[in-house]
């Protein structure tokens, strides 16, 4: 069976609706057709310098959200990146075939380094894409379900795999990005031309999966729209309304055309916002309840993650050995 791998960073106490609609919904859809690996990428999260107890808590919360969103640990392999040392081992090898200029062109790095300044930018942030490439290539992954923001990193992963194969002989499977249509980029409610982001300065633009529904309702009521007063789907001219329509459509299963028809006429922005809030609450309330249940028994959660790590290592070890041998490292036994 073909394999998928994806992950999220435990950089926040809750995922946002963009993570959920852009990535997780697809994970759940795909887990039965693929041999699926879902990783909590705690080593990536270390690049933003979390306090140790924060990272520990967020790693568990993130894993709990995978399960609450519908990932079945009996079907998929759910694990924590730092439990599988092969990730950093392969990352080193990939660092050595990545051009400095190539890495410096990554827009996510440029954005984050720009925000943090030279003093606040660590080398981990720079080598992030090569660690991500290792995450993917270690599992002979065929498809990677992610949001639009990860497209460039996926392209780099493919380039590195092809370069490695050309230089050292056929070693890695070349993965394909699997990016959804309308939900690939859920926008900030406050700045609808920028993506909803855990690290955004204005958190009022984020709908957090684990917030109380009334908090999200309030954020939706003050979502930025436009003064044109009619509901139409026009992402260029009306990014705020387009974002609300996409969110509604993804959660309710109704087509965007049907929604545009429903909110035809003047002064329907309020009604649209109220209805989106209702759809968000419908998904969010059971999600949050399930997360609370899972966190009440951290030992069980840790057992699931330990089982996942064991399965992950059983695959990753073989692929790493292939790569180590290909580059000319001596076998250790």
- Annotated binding residues for L-tryptophan: 135
Minimum distance of ligand AQP from residue 150's CB (angstroms): 4
Determine the Cα–Cα distance for residues 319 and 37; give it in Å rounded to an integer: 15
Q: Is 150 in the site for ligand AQP (CB under 6 A)?
A: yes
Q: Which stretch binds ligand AQP (CB under 6 A): 50-58, 80-88, 146-154, 228-236?
A: 146-154
Six-digit token string for 167 = 């230089």
The 3-state secondary structure of 214-242, one letter per residue: HHHHHHHHCCCCCCCCECCCCCCCCHHHH
Q: Is 216 in the site for ligand AQP (CB under 6 A)?
A: no
- Output 69 or 308, the one with its CB closest to ligand AQP: 69
Among the listed residues 69, 129, 147, 308, the single contact to ligand AQP using CB under 6 A: 147
Q: Is 309 in the site for ligand AQP (CB under 6 A)?
A: no
Q: Is 195 in the site for ligand AQP (CB under 6 A)?
A: yes
Active site residue 195: yes
Determine the Cα–Cα distance for residues 213 and 320; give it in Å rounded to an integer: 45
Task: Say if CB 12 and CB 148 are below 8 A apart.
Answer: no
Active site residue 214: no
- CA proximity to 24, closest of 250, 201, 176: 250
Query: x-or-dash pattern for ligand AQP, window 280-299, by CB under 6 A?
Result: --------------------
- Output 103 or 326, the one with its CB closest to ligand AQP: 103
Task: Say if CB 9 and CB 43 are below 8 A apart.
Answer: no
Q: Is 23 in the site for ligand AQP (CB under 6 A)?
A: yes
Q: Is 225 in the site for ligand AQP (CB under 6 A)?
A: no
SS3 state at 176: strand
Q: Is 19 in the site for ligand AQP (CB under 6 A)?
A: yes
- Which is catalytic among the residues 198, 219, 238, 288? 198
Determine the Cα–Cα distance for residues 286 and 269; give it in Å rounded to an integer: 27
Q: Is 246 in the site for ligand AQP (CB under 6 A)?
A: no
Minimum distance of ligand AQP from residue 220's CB (angstroms): 16
Among the listed residues 149, 182, 321, 325, the single contact to ligand AQP using CB under 6 A: 149
Instruction: Please enumerate, as own/partner, the contacts of 65-68 that have beta carbons within 8 Å and a separation of 24 or more.
Output: 65/14, 65/15, 65/24, 65/209, 65/210, 65/287, 65/291, 66/8, 66/24, 66/27, 66/38, 66/40, 67/290, 67/294, 67/304, 68/287, 68/288, 68/290, 68/291, 68/294
Q: Is 115 in the site for ligand AQP (CB under 6 A)?
A: no
- Output 91 or 323, the one with its CB closest to ligand AQP: 91
Among the listed residues 127, 197, 225, 243, the single contact to ligand AQP using CB under 6 A: 197
SS3 state at 38: strand
Residue 312's φ and ψ, nearest 5 degrees, are -60, -45
Active site residue 112: yes
Minimum distance of ligand AQP from residue 118's CB (angstroms): 20
Q: Which stretch binds ligand AQP (CB under 6 A): 143-151, 153-161, 263-271, 303-311?
A: 143-151
SS3 state at 297: coil
The residues carrying an active-site annotation are 112, 195, 198
Q: Which residues bind ligand AQP (CB under 6 A)?
A: 8-9, 11, 18-19, 22-23, 146-147, 149-150, 184-186, 195-199
């Amino acid at each position: 069976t073909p394999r998928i791998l994806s992950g999220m960073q435990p950089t926040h106490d809750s995922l946002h609706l963009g993570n959920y609609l852009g990535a997780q919904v697809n994970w759940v859809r795909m887990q039965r057709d693929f041999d699926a690996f879902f990783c909590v990428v705690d080593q990536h999260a270390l690049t933003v310098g979390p306090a140790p107890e924060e990272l520990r808590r967020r790693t568990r919360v993130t894993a709990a959200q995978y399960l609450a969103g519908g990932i079945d640990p009996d079907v998929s392999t759910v694990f924590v990146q730092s439990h599988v040392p092969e990730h950093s081992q392969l990352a080193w090898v990939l660092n050595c075939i990545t051009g400095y200029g190539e890495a410096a062109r990554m827009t996510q790095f440029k954005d984050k380094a720009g925000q943090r300044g030279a003093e606040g930018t660590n080398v981990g942030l720079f080598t992030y894409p090569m660690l991500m490439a290792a995450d993917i290539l270690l599992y002979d992954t065929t498809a990677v379900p992610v949001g639009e923001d990860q497209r460039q990193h996926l392209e780099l992963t493919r380039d590195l795999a092809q370069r490695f194969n050309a230089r050292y002989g056929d070693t890695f499977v070349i993965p394909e990005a699997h990016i959804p249509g309308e939900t690939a980029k859920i926008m900030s409610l406050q700045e609808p031309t920028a993506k909803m982001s855990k690290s955004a300065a204005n958190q009022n633009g984020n709908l957090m999966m684990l917030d109380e529904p009334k908090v999200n309702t309030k954020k939706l009521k003050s979502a930025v729209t436009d003064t044109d007063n009619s509901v139409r789907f026009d992402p260029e001219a009306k990014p705020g309304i387009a974002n609300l329509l996409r969110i509604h459509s993804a959660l309710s299963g109704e087509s965007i055309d049907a929604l545009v028809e429903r909110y035809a006429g003047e002064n329907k922005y309020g009604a649209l916002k109220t209805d989106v809030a209702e759809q968000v609450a419908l998904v969010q309330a059971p999600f949050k309840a399930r997360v609370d249940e899972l966190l009440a028994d951290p030992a069980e959660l840790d057992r699931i993650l330990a089982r996942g790590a064991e399965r992950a290592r059983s695959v990753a070890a073989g692929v790493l050995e292939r790569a180590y041998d290909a580059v000319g490292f001596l076998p250790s036994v």
